[in-house]
Amino acid sequence: MFVNITKKGQTVALVGEPPKVGEKSPDFQLLNLKKQVIQLSDLLGKPILISVVPDIDTRVCSIQTKRFNQLAGELATVQFLTISNNTREEQEHWCAAEGVDMQMLHDPENHFGESYRILIPELNRYARAIFVLDQTGKIVYEEIVPEMSQEPDYQQALAVASAL
């Protein structure tokens, strides 16, 4: 089954149906900006908020990432990750320009996007999404933003993450 969202009103399809609340989150292994391997299974034990952005170099993705970067500094009990399929260099350049120091994971090969089924093949970008995982890796909140140019529901995601 394909899930459809819109990009500026035009319908685009995801590669499948993203994982849902109550399901075990698919494991992943991606590199951060320091070229360290970050594997989901190594992060378990604390709640995790995964912020997925289509392209770090766009306005809404920038707003979303800066907002979660700020929240990460205020909520030490939750691990915050931002994932996009931008290259390491693109993410590094953006972080340096914006003063962002949160955990950024890059996936230009689309492994994460395919396993979470949020890749939009015709755009080669990810859908804007938020996943909150409990300490065991179970998804307790997910939002696939229906219109790519809109921001996610920060308050709801943060409320769920804070309650864990």
Q: What is the pLDDT of residues 79-114, one digit of tens each?
A: 999 999 999 999 999 999 998 888 999 999 999 999
Cβ-contact 60, 92 below 8 angstroms: no
Cβ-contact 88, 109 below 8 angstroms: no
The DSSP string of 17-28 is PPP-TTSBPPP-
95 is a catalytic site residue: no
Q: What does the CA dihedral 156, 17, 10, 55 come to, rounded to 10 degrees?
A: 60
Q: What is the pLDDT of residues 24-73, one digit of tens each?
A: 999 999 999 999 999 999 999 999 999 999 999 999 999 999 999 888 88
Model pLDDT, residue 2: 59
Could you say which of 5, 48, 53, 61 is catalytic? 61
Is pTM beyond 0.85 here?
A: yes
Model pLDDT, residue 74: 83
Which comes out higher in pLDDT, residue 76 or 123? 123
> Which domains does the chain carry?
18-108+127-163 (3.40.30.10)
Query: For residues 121 and 13, what is the distance between their CA atoms, to the nearest angstrom?
Result: 8
User: Would the pLDDT of 1 be above 60?
Assistant: no
If one counts every other C-beta atom within 10 angstroms of the C-beta of residue 51, the result is 27
Model pLDDT, residue 43: 95
